[in-house]
Amino acid sequence: MAACALAVTAGTTLGGWRIVGTVGRGLYRLRPVDAVASQGASAGVIMACSLMGALASTSQVVAASVVGVGGGRRRWHHVKWATVRQMVLAWLVTMPATAALAAVLALVWGPG
């Protein structure tokens, strides 16, 4: 558990602020009231998923809520769609790439 905590801390320290900047300014320019609405919606979705035992990626939920705030203000044209597309592509590539890496590591370190 300590190794996981250190890895998450290191990842957040090294790359977290870039992600925060992309979500907070790179998708839609959030004002304080927009940020409160986004975080409230994100907390509600994550809590509901937790209560149902469903998996949810907090970063994907938060990014989607930021885009939703832009839409809720009827400012879809202010949403930076190129950045949204890049994020979605990264999410789609990450899952199969991680699964393939895990399969290779399981073969290397697995029993027998």
Please provide the size of the chain in residues: 112
Query: Tens digit of pLDDT per residue, the chain (112 long)?
Result: 888 889 888 888 887 778 878 887 889 988 899 999 999 999 999 999 999 999 998 889 999 999 999 888 778 888 999 999 999 999 899 989 999 999 999 999 977 5
Kindly list the domain boundaries of the chain, sorted by start residue. Answer: 2-79
Q: What is the pLDDT of residue 112?
A: 59
Q: What is the pLDDT of residue 82?
A: 94
Instruction: List, in order, residues 6 or more apart from 35 with CB less than 8 Å away.
Output: 24
DSSP state of 78: G
